[in-house]
Amino acid sequence: MLRTVAVRAERWPLSTPFRISRGVKTAADVVAVTLVQDGHRGRGEGVPYARYGETIESVLEQVNSLSTELTNGMTRLELASRLGPGAARNAIDCALWDLEARLAGRAVADTLGQPPLHPLVSALTVSLDTPQAMGEAAARMTGATLIKVKVDRKNPAACLEAVRAAAPDAALIVDPNESWTIETLAQLQPVLRDLKVALIEQPLSADEDGDLLGFESCAPICADESCHVAADLPGLKDRYQVVNIKLDKTGGLTEALDLLTEARRMGFGVMVGCMVSSSMSIAPAFHVARHADFVDLDGPTWIADDYAGGAVQRGAELLPPEALWGVPDTATPDGAA
């Protein structure tokens, strides 16, 4: 069972800049892994994230360190014992899922005992800008029923009010990306209540989320940077009500499914999110997102020129990139790496 392994860095320019409290992106920088076995190709993508100490170089190094094992048939279970959660394991794990589907002639949905994927209502993101610009961005989101609003500690109320005025009927997720303090969160409660915010995502730094213990919020609070894998969940009780599952944090679909199961068992709500990425990252996340309370998979909609057959936003719904990943080959197997 010998495979060929290819790993490379890719840059996907964005159609417009994407701003959050920590900075601005003009391109999605990813690591792509391709595994070829018996003429079938499996692919996966990981997004290195500086917040977690990752770079393109470090992720490439992690993947390359396992090239011999991958060539000799490393399984997803073996991968989990050799590499911790993060972008490198995500890219490999998802490539293995894709390869398994193509070798077996059986879609990932079938393997999971699920029907074919279907469109999901996904949040559209208003990136951080002036209140006027954010309101204008929200006004262009025709048909959106769920909008995520990126804010920081500087005048978040005005930004949120501008978005709400432009989108009076959409549910709002507010995402400060760890930029608030508990005092900021408390002071903004009346505004958040008046604007009928549906979810507050990671308002405080992950190392300060003990401040949330016993805090009574007008809307559920979702752990993003504070939640990576299922083992994190016990420490989030009585602080968060919802957890955000991202495959680049869990280290792939395998752990993401385990996190989903354990989160539900422990009574957490579930959000499924993503980094700014191509549709190759989003395709496996759909298999978790179909079970979520909140879906935020609009990363590929920021890409200027995504994969052919990638995810497509139509009004409130995101159509899955069904033929891109995790399905049997329908034509002559493509062995190109």
Q: Which among 25, 148, 150, 196 is annotated as catalytic?
A: 150
Two structure tokens written together for 288: 């978790």
Sequence-distant (6+) residues with CB within 8 A of 190 are: none
Q: Is 246 a catalytic residue?
A: yes
Contacts of 108 (CB under 8 A, 6+ apart): 97, 98, 101, 253, 284, 287, 326, 327
In order of 91, 165, 174, 318, the CA distances from 253 in angstroms are 10, 38, 26, 19
The reply to whether 237 belongs to the active site is no
Structure tokens at 14: 């964005």
Residue listed under structure tokens 């422990």: 266
CA-CA distances (angstroms) from residue 100 to 73, 105, 307? 11, 8, 21
Burial class (CB in 10 A: 0-12, 13-18, 19+), 95: buried
The active-site residue, picked from 25, 154, 246, 249, is: 246
Q: Do the beta carbons of residue 60 and residue 9 sit within 8 Å?
A: yes
Give residue 141's identity as a one-letter amino acid code. Answer: M
68 burial type by CB count under 10 A (0-12 exposed, 13-18 middle, 19+ buried): exposed
3-class secondary-structure state, position 186: helix
Would you state the torsion angle of the CA atoms of residues 263, 249, 317, 133, taken in this order, to the nearest 10 degrees? 120
289, 285, 295: which is closest to 324 by C-alpha? 285
Alpha-carbon distance 246 to 252, whole Å?
A: 8
Which of these, 150, 140, 47, lies nearest to 94 by C-alpha position? Answer: 47
Kindly state the helix (H) or strand (E) to which residue 260 belongs, with its residue range. Answer: helix 253-265
Which residues does the annotation mark as catalytic? Answer: 150, 246
